[in-house]
Amino acid sequence: MGLLYQIFLDPFVQMGSAPDLLVQTLWEGLVAGVLYSLVALGFVLIFKASGVFNFAQGIMVVFAVLTLIGFYELGVPAFLAVVLALAVMLVLAFAVERLVLRPLVNQSDNVLLMATFGLTYFLIGFGEFLFGGDPKVMISDQLLLPRGAYQIQMLGGFVQLQKLDIAAVVIASITVAALAVFFQKTRIGLALRAVADSHRAALSVGISLEQVWVIVWFASGIVALMTGILWGARSNVSFALQIVALKALPVLILGGLTSVPGAIVGGIIIGVGEKLGEFYWGPLLGNGIESWLAYAIALVVLLVRPQGLFGEVIIERI
Amino acid sequence: MTPRVTNHIAEILLSIENVSLSFGGVKAVAAVSFDIRKGEICAIIGPNGAGKTSMLNIINGFYHPQQGRITFKGVTRSKMRAYQAAAGGIARTFQNVALFRGMTVLDNIMAGRTLHMRRGFFLQLLRFGPAQTEEIAHRHRVEEIIDLLRIQSIRKTIVGQLPYGLQKRVELARALAMEPDLLLLDEPMAGMNVEEKEDMSRYILDVNRHQNMTIALIEHDMGVVMDLSDRVVVLDHGIKIAEGTPQEIKTNQAVINAYLGVAH
């Protein structure tokens, strides 16, 4: 009885008795969730347009933001450095298309997946060669990211909102919304979906695979840079940052690999679920459940909906 | 169906000259030459492995022949990528159907219009002004094609859920939406029953006569080939063994040998 009470009743009693803490937890979950969505979005973009699970997404985040800091350290003004880092991501997109994807047209998805493994290790080595392996400090102030926090008095207590978190939520939401519209409403969006579905058919209606791939890899490079800036500002920038990609996996499973809205909703569910679980149910299990809870949530969803909450239904006629 | 009198002096739309293609040691196509004339239905026939599909792949730019010249609408090309061929006015369907299986019938056909959409990307994003007018115009054209092929009822269906015969029809619709100068059909009747074949034949003839579209098709059903085509090109082991009207082909000894075999 005692255990059942602890699992099913006590957490809710706690939530009710300290609503300010609940709001604080929900807010932190939301912020984490939006950032997860942003990482997941990088995967979804490339998966939608080429059917490839881009293993290199994590390292692209690190590489993009290290490039930004690298330019800044060379004395380039911060905002110009952002533009230059974007230019580097565009060059990377062209290089990936020309050197990795084009020779592998019409190969199976597994071949392309393995190619992204290769790309990952190349970028790790190349990144360390260019920028060294030491952690770097994010240039938050120079990029005018706000510091400090708002204290809001509510519900008989205080809720603290970090200004950086608010900025992150706003920036990430705008990006996500822009990309969602891009995919659903434009000719290029239709072309991207067509390429993802069948290379052969897309070519036959006059869609240029080269162009489409450069566009998606560049778009996902932009997302990588923004992810890097927003995550980097919360800790610092090192190669360890690429594990944020692992955080995106359960989000992708939950939301579906092919869905932009899925990445958003999945990210928020995972973010909020993690924080609530950690705060209210964590003590029961000796804490530290944040690291695996997301996967547990994703597994349950997989049992019920193998294509994720929003993924395209997988149809195989026999 | 009454056989039509072919206009042999019609303008040449596509000319294949001395084209060869090999994969390693295998000669898929060897020194083949023929023309396709404006407004005709030209059938390419031959036993399995004769190089028919390779020929189609060469015409629409999937394969690049090692030798030979291809002249389309008066322009000779050496290497042309598939999307450039499509932009130049060559549309095609595939032997084993290549559709966008996860998208609706309507989206599949709209994909055929991508090359005709001209309005800027940002206007499309906002669905504003000229972009909206343009999209409505494209939808209108697509609806005409949907009517022509009688697929109104499956407009919003996901293509992967459709039976094979209908998928073939959707694929034809997508190719028509490109409003090509030359339409390549790779076994449009494969796997169909008699009724479906009759329907498909009628659609092909409609498109050819009413829109004056030039069509090159590969087909194994000889009844269909003889009824539909103005001219027939016969390939065997990558070599052109005959060319002529259906009547001429029926009585050609080389063709009979290729199909029935000869005693050695």
Query: Could you give the domains of chain B?
Result: 1-89+180-264 (3.40.50.300), 100-177 (no CATH)
Task: Quote the CA–CA distance of B214 and B124 in Å, as a whole number.
Answer: 33
Mean pLDDT of A273-283: 85
Question: Running DSSP on this structure, what letter comes out for residue B186?
Answer: E
CB-count exposure of residue B93 (10 Å: 0-12, 13-18, 19+): buried
Mean pLDDT of A225-230: 89
Contact B121 A181 (CB under 8 A): no
Residue of B nearest to A197 (CA): B100
The H-or-E segment that residue B172 falls in is: helix B164-177
Contact B110 A312 (CB under 8 A): no
Mean pLDDT of A29-56: 84
Position A92 scores a pLDDT of 94
Position A85 scores a pLDDT of 93
Q: Which residue has the higher pLDDT, A71 or B83?
A: A71
- As given in the structure block, the two tokens for residue B60 are 């629409």
Contacts of B147 (CB under 8 A, 6+ apart): none
Percentage of chain A exceeding pLDDT 90:
16
Give the B window 49-68 contacts with A, CB below 8 Å: 60, 62
Residue of B nearest to A312 (CA): B102
pLDDT tens digit string along B107-152?
Answer: 889 888 877 665 445 445 555 566 677 778 888 888 888 888 888 8
Contacts of B243 (CB under 8 A, 6+ apart): B34, B231, B232, B233, B234
Mean pLDDT of A76-102: 91
Q: Which residue has the higher pLDDT, A252 or B79?
A: A252
Task: Quote the CA–CA distance of A139 and A126 in Å, as a whole number.
Answer: 22
Percentage of chain A exceeding pLDDT 70:
96
Question: Which of B92, B102, B124 faces A204 most closely, judged by CB atoms?
Answer: B92
- ipTM (interface pTM): 0.75
Determine which of B83, B92, B109, B181 to mutate to test the interface with A (most A C-beta atoms within 10 Å): B83
Question: Which of A191, A204, A312 faces B98 most closely, judged by CB atoms?
Answer: A204
Q: For A81-105, give one letter per residue: b (16+ CB within 10 A) or e.
A: bbebbbebbeebbeebbeebbeeee
Nearest-Cα distance to chain B for A85, in Å, is 24
Averaged pLDDT of chain A:
83
Query: Could you identify the residue written with the tokens 């706003």?
Result: A170
Contact B94 A203 (CB under 8 A): no
Chain A contact set for B178 (CB, 8 A): 205-206
Low pLDDT (below 70) residues in chain B = 1-9, 78, 116-131, 263-264
- As given in the structure block, the two tokens for residue A184 are 């659903």
Contact B83 A206 (CB under 8 A): yes
Task: Quote the CA–CA distance of B28 and B125 in Å, as a whole number.
Answer: 46
Split at pLDDT 50, 70, 90, the class of A126 is very high
Contact B100 A201 (CB under 8 A): yes
Position B2 scores a pLDDT of 47
Cβ proximity of A227 and A39 under 8 Å: yes
Nearest-Cα distance to chain A for B70, in Å, is 18
Q: Which of A128-137, A284-293, B197-206, B221-230 comes out lowest in average pLDDT?
A: A284-293
Amino acid (one-letter) located at B180:
P
